[in-house]
Amino acid sequence: MITKYIPMKISLIQLLLQLLVVTQLSFAQQMPIDFSESSENFSGFNGSGFSFSTDPNDSGNDVGQFYNDGSIGWQGFTIGLQRVIDLDFQKTISLSFYGYDSNAHTVLLKLEGGENADVEVTQNVPSGGGWTTGIIFDFANAVLSSNNSVAVNASGTYDRLTIFIDGGATIPGTYLIDDIDDGSEETDINALDVIYDHLVWEDTFDTPGAVNALNWHHQTQVIIPGVGWANNEEQHYTNRSDNSFVDTSGNLNIVAKRENWTDQGLTKSYTSARLNSKFAFKYGRVDVKAKLPSGNGTWPAIWTLGKNIREPGAFWHSSHGTTSWPDCGEIDIMEHGLGATNHVSSALHTPSSSSATINTLGIDISDVSANYHVYSMNWSPNQITFLVDNVGFYTYNPSEKNDSTWPFYEEQFILLNVAMGGISGAVDAGFTESAMIIDYVKVYQEAPLSAGKDLDLKSTLKLYPNPASDKIQISSTIPISSLALYDVYGKLIFTKENDTQSIDVSRLNSGVYFLEVSSNTQKAVKKVMVN
């Protein structure tokens, strides 16, 4: 049994798993689907195939081409959605269908991955071929997929859409589909929910020489005694200036070198450095401007760990080390070397993902070693968004936030290191040394109150009536910017940014809820009783 602390990736199998996940999640699939983006690709199963195509009547219109080979009755097409279909918002889904043949067809839409049971609606496409536009699938008149003799007025959210054409019949054919619309607007799922623009900590590496010991701790004690670092890595970390220093151009250099080095009874073939920030923070934005080392087998990382991690040798261990990994939470802002050159990735490690890397996404950027890029993460109470050069590409926002999925409600500290070998692959035979070069590390949080410093949102917040069955009025002497209502399981019911003076609870089941009230600088949570 593996009980050793493993800070990042664990094995080649999981690396492959991670790459698979990256491939699957590389896109932000969401409704409506007009096939204008590569993310809007369905997967065929049981002998079906999907490809992007062009409208025969309009060469400027991208459409989806759906192919059945007819070998099996229930062959179809499926897509996972990063943003759910919400039948409580709209009951109907519409689409347009094109037949190359002039036969009548059936189209079945099935919704899966919901709070409620899988449901489906079938519609007939009349004979004649060509486009039939705006075919409406009304999920108020759906049937259960598990028993299609049971009618159901479907409700709630679903995160998977599956299409069957002539389902149940072994009919080969090629069809086009376009404009699958659930009434929602396309949204940028990587939009930042909180802007952190007040600088609270930085190191701009302006003083050449040794790394500033007020800001950084050299972590050199191996985390697996008698073995070394995790993941079969091949380096020692040292506190020597050979492996970390500030150059005369204002940059921190973390230098990985090929050299035999013996420490703690272990001889390793490489040396490098691993820095821990002596600053920890809860919520905020981290910007790190860096150039990455080059060569196969180099594994630079910019990341954070919970300040409470129990890890002898880490800076915060002796004062705060109460919690094992991954319960402490880990946020990988940038890793390079786990995929192809110039493919950087971000990831989260939580108890829910255990030691696997399932919450991750990579992005290809150019010239990571030749040019500086700014690697960022924006960590709010609601979501963690990763950015490169100020463009968000991945957001972690589990619908249910608890200790297992979201240990990110306590302070984290920053780590900068270059690991060698291990699961990042064999080090190039000709490798001698290469450095991660960091121009700055900056942490931003919300600005402190410039006025009304003494006012506390929570103490001035009033909700009435409470309990309530209809409307709850909300008031505070501090302007309220947004509201978010959660159920007792932490599931977000809704958010509101306009009309924050009241919420309508008339449609909610009776019970206990939690209302999170935000001003520009504060948050407060109050219990709400609905009866």
Q: Is 253 left (phi over 0), alpha (psi -120 to 50) or beta?
A: beta
Does residue 37 interact with Ca ion by CB under 5 A?
no
Q: Minimal distance in Å, beta carbon 23 to Ca ion?
A: 24
CA distance 51 to 38: 10
Q: Minimal distance in Å, beta carbon 33 to Ca ion?
A: 8
Q: Minimal distance in Å, beta carbon 318 to Ca ion?
A: 31
Residue nearest to Ca ion according to CB distances in the complex: 250
Q: In Å, how far are 78, 410, 439, 468, 514 from 527, measured between CA atoms?
A: 40, 22, 45, 12, 5
CA distance 487 to 91: 23
Nearer to Ca ion, 77 or 283 (CB): 77
Does residue 34 interact with Ca ion by CB under 5 A?
yes
Looking at residues 65 to 124 of the shown chain, list those that interact with Ca ion (rule: CB under 5 A).
none
432 CB neighbour count, 10 Å cutoff:
10
Question: From start to end of 230-283, where are the E strands?
Answer: 235-237, 244-246, 252-263, 266-272, 274-281
CA distance 245 to 186: 47
Segment (H or E) for 427: none
Cβ atoms 42, 77 nearer than 8 A = yes
Nearer to Ca ion, 118 or 179 (CB): 179
Q: Minimal distance in Å, beta carbon 28 to Ca ion?
A: 17
Does residue 381 interact with Ca ion by CB under 5 A?
no
- Reported residue count of the chain is 531
Q: Minimal distance in Å, beta carbon 137 to Ca ion?
A: 18
Q: Minimal distance in Å, beta carbon 205 to Ca ion?
A: 5
Nearer to Ca ion, 181 or 332 (CB): 181
Stretch that binds Ca ion, among 5-13, 201-209, 421-429, 522-530 (CB under 5 A): 201-209
Nearer to Ca ion, 33 or 85 (CB): 33
Nearer to Ca ion, 190 or 212 (CB): 212
Stretch that binds Ca ion, among 159-167, 200-208, 257-265, 343-351 (CB under 5 A): 200-208
Looking at residues 210 to 269 of the shown chain, list those that interact with Ca ion (rule: CB under 5 A).
250
Nearer to Ca ion, 36 or 141 (CB): 36
| Type of residue numbered 331 | I
Nearer to Ca ion, 253 or 369 (CB): 253
Q: Which of 66, 175, 205, 316 binds Ca ion (CB under 5 A)?
A: 205
Q: In Å, how far are 76, 98, 120, 171, 299 from 47, measured between CA atoms?
A: 8, 20, 21, 12, 40
Does residue 178 interact with Ca ion by CB under 5 A?
yes
Nearer to Ca ion, 43 or 212 (CB): 212
CA distance 476 to 4: 49
Q: Minimal distance in Å, beta carbon 241 to Ca ion?
A: 18
Q: In Å, how far are 28, 30, 45 from 37, measured between CA atoms?
A: 9, 10, 21
Q: Minimal distance in Å, beta carbon 305 to Ca ion?
A: 24
Number of residues interacting with Ca ion: please give it, by CB under 5 A: 10
CA distance 317 to 184: 48
Q: Which of 69, 202, 433, 439 binds Ca ion (CB under 5 A)?
A: 439
Does residue 43 interact with Ca ion by CB under 5 A?
no
Nearer to Ca ion, 35 or 444 (CB): 35
Q: Minimal distance in Å, beta carbon 95 to Ca ion?
A: 11
CA distance 72 to 496: 47
Q: Minimal distance in Å, beta carbon 249 to Ca ion?
A: 8
- Of 509, 519, 514, 520, the closest CA to residue 485 belongs to 514
Nearer to Ca ion, 441 or 485 (CB): 441
CA distance 420 to 439: 22
Q: Which of 204, 212, 324, 482 binds Ca ion (CB under 5 A)?
A: 204
CA distance 380 to 44: 37
Which residues are near Ca ion by CB under 5 A? 34-35, 61-62, 178, 204-205, 250, 439-440
